[in-house]
Structure 1
C-alpha cells in the first residue's frame, strides 16, 4: 500500500481509506473488528467518520470494536458541523461539543484529524480558530481540514487558523469530476467549462494540501454506482478490459484512476465488504498510463475540446 504524509504531525497514512458511514450495517462488534483488522492487514490504516453518520451510531459501533492495540495502528478522522434538519454550525461551542461527543463514542482520547463537514454561510473564522486552538492544545485533535470547501473559503479560515487547514474532502470519481472538466475546458463556452469549485485541485497542489475523494464509485449526488450500471456501457467496457489487463477488479481500476492524478488524491472507500476492500487495495500497485487515464475519462461520457 502506498503511504504518504498528511501533515508534519501525521505521517505513514495509507493512500486508500475506509469510509465508515455504513458500518452500522455490519452484524455485530466482532464483524466490525474483523473489518478493521482485515483493512489493516491490506495496509489500509485510515478510517473516516462523521458525527452525523447514522446519528452518531457509526462512531459508537466502531468505538465498541476498538482495542488499544488497534487504535495505535490507525489514523482516525471525523467530521462535524452539520446539524441535521437545522443548519451548518461552525460556532466554537458546537465544534468543541461535537468533538467531545465523537471522542466519547469512539472511546478514544483523541482523533488524528477533524474536518468541518460543509461550509457554514454564517462562519466566523475567529471562533473556528479558537476552537481549533483549544482542541490542539488539549491533545484532542492533531490536524484539521474541511470537506466540500472552495479555495477562498479555505483561505479565509487559514488566515485566522494559522494555516492549520491541510485537507479538503470532495466528491470525486471518473464520472463526477467537475474540477477536472473545468480545467480541461478553459475559455470555452460550455457547461463543462463552468468552474464550480474555484480550481480546488490546482489550489491544493500549490498549497501542498491533501485532497480526499469521497464516493469514488458514485455518479450524481448519491444517484447510484456507475460500475456495472447499464447507464454507463462504454465506461464499464473500458473498466472491464483494464481490470482484466491488470488482474484486478473494476473497482480497483476506478480507484487507480483517481490515484493516477499527480495531486496525490487520497481515496475514501465506503465499502464494509472485506473482500471488496482487499480487491480495491490492489489499486495502490497500479499506475495507469496517460492513454488509459484519458480513455476512462472519455468513456465516462466526457468530451475534450
Structure 2
C-alpha cells in the first residue's frame, strides 16, 4: 500500500511544508508588525520556494494573527504566488486575554468568524486546508460539520484536517463530516520519538510510559490521512543548536547525525528530516524555522530519505532512545 493522501487528492505534492509560526514578530498584542517582518517573511518564502516547498502552515493564533498578516503582505506583493502554493491554517485555540484562561473552542460560533479573520489577514479568498487546532473536550461533531459544510459551500475552505488527535477522536468527528479528514498534525522528531516507541513497546512494561495513542500510525495509513510532523527539526538539537542541558542520548545522536551527514555529503537538517520521511507512512515534516539558511539546509531531505538504509534508521533510533531495542 503506497501512502500518498495529499497527492492522491490533488491537494499538494510538496514533501516538506514551511511552518509560519515564527513570522510577524512578537506575541504581544500591543506590538504591530513592521516592514522588516514582511521582508523576513519574503526571504523565508523565497528560500522555501527555491527548494520546492509549496505548502505553508499557519494558525490564527501565531504571533496573535501577525504571522498571517505579514504572509498576506507577501501575497499582495506577489499576486501570482497564491495560485502556486497551498495554504493551510488552524482554528480552535483561544489565547488568554488576561481575564479568561487559554482554552479550546470548536463551536460553530467560533470557527466561522475565525476563518473570516484568517482570510482577511492573508488577503485570500480561500484556504486549501483548515485544521482544528488540538482536541476540544467539548467538541460536538454535528455542529462542527455544520460549520465545515458552510465553509465548503461558500468556497472559503476546500479541505479539512485536525491536529494532535487520536484514532478515536478522528472517528468520532469523521462520522458527522461529509468530507474526509485529510491531515493530522502531530509532534514527531528524533527527539520526540514516542510515535515509534508506542509500536515497539507492545506487550512490554516500557509501554506503560508511552504517551502516544495506540494504533494511530497504522490508523492514519489505513485511512489515507496525511501525517504532518510539527517540530521535526527538534529545535536544532541535532543540527547545531544543542540544548543547555542536553542528555547523553541527545549529545550522542547529534554526533551520529553529523557523522552520517558528512559521509553523505549533506546537512544535519537533511538527515534529521530524512529519518522521519523514511517511514512508510510518508510523513510530511512541517519545518518551523524561518531562517533562509536553515530552510535551504533542508533541501536534500527527500533524497536522503531514499538513500537512508534500514541500518542507519535503526541506529539513529536506538541512539535517540538512549536504550537498545526491547
TM-score, with structure 1 as normaliser: 0.93
Match of 1:259 in 2: 277
Match of 1:304 in 2: 325
In terms of mean alpha carbon deviation, does 57-66 or 22-31 score higher?
22-31
Alignment of 1:270 with 2:294, yes or no, is: no
Counterpart secondary structure, 1:97: helix
Match of 1:77 in 2: 88
| CA distance in 1 between partners of 2:8 and 2:277 (Å) | 22
| CA distance in 2 between partners of 1:237 and 1:255 (Å) | 16
Match of 2:237 in 1: 225
Alignment of 1:290 with 2:310, yes or no, is: yes
Query: What's the CA shift for 1:196?
Result: 2.9
List aligned pairs for 1:130-141, cutoff 5 A.
130-141=146-157
Query: What's the CA shift for 1:8?
Result: 5.6
Query: What's the CA shift for 1:165?
Result: 1.0
| CA distance in 2 between partners of 1:273 and 1:44 (Å) | 14
Match of 1:20 in 2: 20
| CA distance in 2 between partners of 1:168 and 1:96 (Å) | 21
Query: What's the CA shift for 1:29?
Result: 2.1
Question: Are residues 5 and 186 of structure 1, via their aligned partners in 2, closer, same or farther at CA, if it must alter by over 3 Å?
Answer: closer
Query: What's the CA shift for 1:5?
Result: 4.9
Counterpart secondary structure, 1:145: strand
Match of 2:53 in 1: 44
List aligned pairs for 1:47-66, cutoff 5 A.
47-66=56-75
| CA distance in 1 between partners of 2:231 and 2:8 (Å) | 27
Query: What's the CA shift for 1:12?
Result: 3.7
| CA distance in 2 between partners of 1:277 and 1:290 (Å) | 26
List aligned pairs for 1:161-240, cutoff 5 A.
161-191=177-207, 194=210, 196-218=212-234, 225-228=237-240, 229=242, 230-231=246-247, 232-240=250-258
TM-score, with structure 2 as normaliser: 0.87
Conservation of the 8 A alpha-carbon contact between 1:110 and 1:141:
yes
| CA distance in 2 between partners of 1:104 and 1:110 (Å) | 10
Aligned residues: 299
Conservation of the 8 A alpha-carbon contact between 1:45 and 1:73:
yes
Query: What's the CA shift for 1:249?
Result: 1.2
| CA distance in 1 between partners of 2:162 and 2:14 (Å) | 19
Query: What's the CA shift for 1:41?
Result: 2.1
Counterpart secondary structure, 2:189: coil
1:191-243 residue CA offsets vs partner (Å, 9 max, x unmatched): 46636313211111111110000001227xxxx83444243221011101110
Gapped regions of structure 1 (runs ≥ 5): none
Conservation of the 8 A alpha-carbon contact between 2:186 and 2:229:
yes
| CA distance in 2 between partners of 1:119 and 1:104 (Å) | 25
Alignment counterpart, residue 173 of structure 2, candidates 152, 157, 177: 157
Counterpart secondary structure, 2:24: helix
Question: Are residues 157 and 272 of structure 1, via their aligned partners in 2, closer, same or farther at CA, if it must alter by over 3 Å?
Answer: same
